Amino acid sequence: MRLKLLIAYDGRPFRGWQSQSGGDAVQDHVEAAFTALCGRRVPLHGAGRTDAGVHALAQCAHVDVEHPRLTPDDWPAALNAHLPPEIRVIRCARVPANFHARFDARGKIYTYRIWNHPVLSPFENGRAWHLPGPLDLPLLKTCALRLVGTHDFAGFAANRGKPGENTVRTVHRITVRHASTVVTLRFEGDGFLYKMVRLMTGSLVRCAQHRADPEWLSALLAGKTKTSFAAPAEGLCLTRVLY
């Protein structure tokens, strides 16, 4: 039967989601847990990649298993017993055989957290970008609106050696919230390029620090230049995959 998994993880100890030769990715650990339970390798298919250090509240994946003793409700506890504490299978459900975690996804939501205070809380270490200096929050919100819509986001994509890749994406909304010392940016779109959310965040912050003119964002969308200001991985979290 085909199972859909909802997986949460603290990305700090791992080399991202996608399987690596050294076996240090989140996918490697979850596949190893299935191997321990099924007695054979079971390929796992994720909804998308996350970089090293990036977290997830709700990464989705699917897998095909044959295990007569375990129901879908049994799998989370069984898998978690074989996983490091930084990775947890939150939920498991049976899905149709034609469901695909990646190709059936119609969008994703990412959240980026900024700790805007001179002193970083030790409980936020590795979970937020520490920016001790002032941020122009009204300007941050105004600049974020410039990136909403359907655009060619090549100026916000890190080079992955894939010339000719379609770089047009639709960002449905970017929400900026401020509560005490935490600034949260929530990105919802039909898909995101390699490091696109981190590059958008880094560029928006540069404008909010008055280190770049907002018109620079328009030049990036027009393909006249590329940004290299990527926000650190630790502030980013894959919050939800939309189906």
**Is residue 34 scored above 60 in pLDDT?**
yes
Burial category of 224 from C-beta neighbours within 10 Å (exposed 0-12, middle 13-18, buried 19 and up): exposed
Q: What is the mean pLDDT of residues 74-101?
A: 97
Token pair in block for residue 175: 């929400």
Task: Read off the pLDDT band of 162 (50, 70, 90).
Answer: low
Specify the CATH number of the domain 107-242: 3.30.70.660
Task: Read off the pLDDT band of 163 (50, 70, 90).
Answer: low
Active site residue 104: no
Given this model, what pLDDT does residue 165 score? 80
Token look-up 């080079």 returns: 159
Q: Is the dihedral of CA 201, 144, 128, 14 positive or negative?
A: negative
CA 83-236-214 angle, to 5 degrees, is: 170
Amino acid identity for residue 50 in this structure: T
Q: What is the mean pLDDT of residues 214-240?
A: 95
* pLDDT > 70: percent of the chain: 98
List beta partners, residue 186.
111, 175
> What average pLDDT does the structure give for the chain?
95
CA distance 197 to 152: 14
In this structure, CATH architecture of domain 2-95: 2-Layer Sandwich (3.30)
- Global pTM value: 0.94
Given this model, what pLDDT does residue 69 score? 86
Identical topology for domains 2-95 and 107-242: yes
CA distance 15 to 71: 31
* pLDDT > 90: percent of the chain: 92
CA dihedral in degrees (205, 206, 212, 217; nearest 10)?
-50
Catalytic pick from 28, 51, 104, 213? 51
**Is residue 160 scored above 90 in pLDDT?**
no
CA distance 221 to 178: 26
Given this model, what pLDDT does residue 144 score? 98
pLDDT digits (tens, 9 = 90+) for 93-127: 999 999 999 999 999 999 999 999 999 999 999 99
pLDDT digits (tens, 9 = 90+) for 170-226: 999 999 999 999 999 999 999 999 999 999 999 999 999 999 999 999 999 998 899
Domain residue ranges in the chain = 2-95, 107-242
